Structure formats: C-alpha cells, structure tokens
Amino acid sequence: MSMKIPFFNNKQSVESMHYPEENTPEHIAIIMDGTGRWAEKRGMSRVYGHKEGVTTVINIVKAAVKFNVKVLTLYAFSTENWKRPNSEIEYIMGLPKKFLNMYLADLISNNVRIKVIGDMDHLPSSTRETVQYAIDRTENNEGLQLNFALNYGGKQEILNAMKEAIADINDAKLSLDQLDKQQFSRYLYTSGMTDPDLLIRTGGEKRLNNFLLWQLAYSEFWFTDVLWPDFSEREFIKALEEYKQRKRRFGGV
C-alpha cells in the first residue's frame, strides 16, 4: 500500500474539509475561464490573472487527489487562443514551466501522472520540452491522471483521428467494419480514458469552446460565475455535491 504524502499546506487548509467519497465523478474536465477579467477588475494586466490562476490549478489538483478523482482534464489553451496578443500568449506559454518548477516534486510524491492533450508539435519548443519532461517523469505514476489541454481543439482532434483511422484502413491495419465508436476513440488524445462524468466551467459563460466535443457527449455540465482565480476547493465541492444529485440516464429510463 502506498502512502499519500500530503501537499504542503497553504492558506486554504484542505485538511479541514471532508467530502464523502461515494459517487465522486471519475473524470472531471474543467474550462478554466475568467482569469483575464479577474485581473482587469483589479485594474491590473490580464497576465496577472493568469499568474493567480496557477495557484487555483494546484489547489484543485490537491482536492482531486484528496477525493480520489481518477482523471482531471484542465483546458489551459485552445487552438483559438492564438488570436490573442503575442505578449499574452508568451506569458501563458511560460506558465507550465512556472507551475512545474513549483509543484512537480509534490505532484510526483502524490503519484500524479501528467499528460498533455492537444497539438504539442506547434507549441514553443521551451514549453514543449518542459511539459515533455514532466510527462516522462510521471509516466509510471498510478494516482490522479492530470491532463492539460494545451493547444487543444475538439474539431481538430476529431479530424486528425479520422485521418489516422483512414490511413490505417488504407494500410489494411483496420477494416471499415471494425471502425465503431470504441475503435474510433482510440485515435483521440484521450485514448484509454473514460469520458468526463462532469464538466465544470468557471467565469460565467455557457459554451464549450471546442472542448472535448466527442468525449462530452453524455457528461453532466456545471457552470459558475466565479472567476478561475477565485475558484476554490469549496466551490469544487459544490460541483461534486450537485453532481451527486444528478440522475444520469444515458438515454434510458
């Protein structure tokens, strides 16, 4: 039996909060929105919000570890976010390094496995190398699977999967008859993972932004106006509590 080493305590004491484990979603996906507005409201530049958002990321990862969530997928940068000013993009692309410098050791001791979903080939090389290092260092861990959606787009993911499946059909590695939903999902970035049970979006908007279009087909959605830097373990628990009340019928009765 492996022992969980608690994360360093910070101002928000996670030890003081308890959450019953039954009916916890296995896979939670989060659209972390509202970081720019959080900073603008304080008369500061948007990147200050992104910086604060990193603290929320680690707090929510800790909570997910504590509640035995199996997979946590965080939307960090979409394929549409390249439309932003260069200076903001550069700052965001530097965040994985800041995050991992601060927390990789903790994540490793908590048995967290890091993965990236999205087109890693077109990330700046320094960002790619940093996240690749974390992926390699944690690949044998068996605790929480932490997916960062980086340069991720759902339509692109489905299109790429389709192209790869067609290539395999052409190479006779797969027959057209074999290509069903289960086979197809093996070509997605989320291959081998269960689909999200719960989608959370912070920041007040109610849209998907090209996130996990295939995988969210039957997920429960939970929205909050709270901006990502203000999102806390307490808010996270609210989402989990509401999830517990939902009746998932998957089309049945």
Catalytic residues: 33, 81
Stretch that binds ligand IPE, among 55-63, 182-190, 205-213, 239-247 (CB under 6 A): 205-213
Q: Dihedrals φ, ψ of 30, to 5°?
A: -130, 130
Does 48 bind ligand IPE (CB under 6 A)? Our answer is no
3-state secondary structure 59-85: HHHHHHHHCCCCEEEEEEEECCHHHCC
Quick one: residue 116, left, alpha or beta (phi over 0 = left, psi -120 to 50 = alpha)? beta
Cβ–Cβ under 8 Å, residues 199 and 216? yes
- Residue 205 binds which one of ligand IPE, Mg ion, none, with CB within 5 to 8 A depending on kind? ligand IPE
Cβ–Cβ under 8 Å, residues 179 and 165? yes
Give the nearest distance from C-beta 215 to Mg ion in angstroms. Answer: 21
- Residue 222 binds which one of Mg ion, ligand IPE, none, with CB within 5 to 8 A depending on kind? none
Give the nearest distance from C-beta 205 to Mg ion in angstroms. Answer: 7
Take residue 67 and report the two structure tokens written for it.
Answer: 């509640």
Does 92 bind ligand IPE (CB under 6 A)? Our answer is yes
Dihedral sign of CA atoms 186, 192, 195, 200 in order: negative
Does 77 bind Mg ion (CB under 5 A)? Our answer is no
- Binding residues for ligand IPE, rule CB under 6 A, total 17
CA distance 95 to 76: 10
Q: Select from 7, 28, 35, 187 the one that contacts ligand IPE (CB under 6 A).
A: 35
Q: Select from 29, 32, 33, 215 the one that contacts Mg ion (CB under 5 A).
A: 33
- Residue 153 binds which one of Mg ion, ligand IPE, none, with CB within 5 to 8 A depending on kind? none
Choose between 155 and 207: whose C-beta lies nearer to ligand IPE.
Answer: 207
In b/e form, how buried is each residue of 149-187, taking b as 16+ CB within 10 angstroms? bbbbbbeebeeebeeebeebeeeeebeeeebeeeeebeb
Q: Select from 7, 27, 28, 36 the one that contacts ligand IPE (CB under 6 A).
A: 36
Does 37 bind ligand IPE (CB under 6 A)? Our answer is yes
Residues that bind ligand IPE (CB under 6 A): 31-37, 75-78, 81, 92, 203, 205, 207, 209
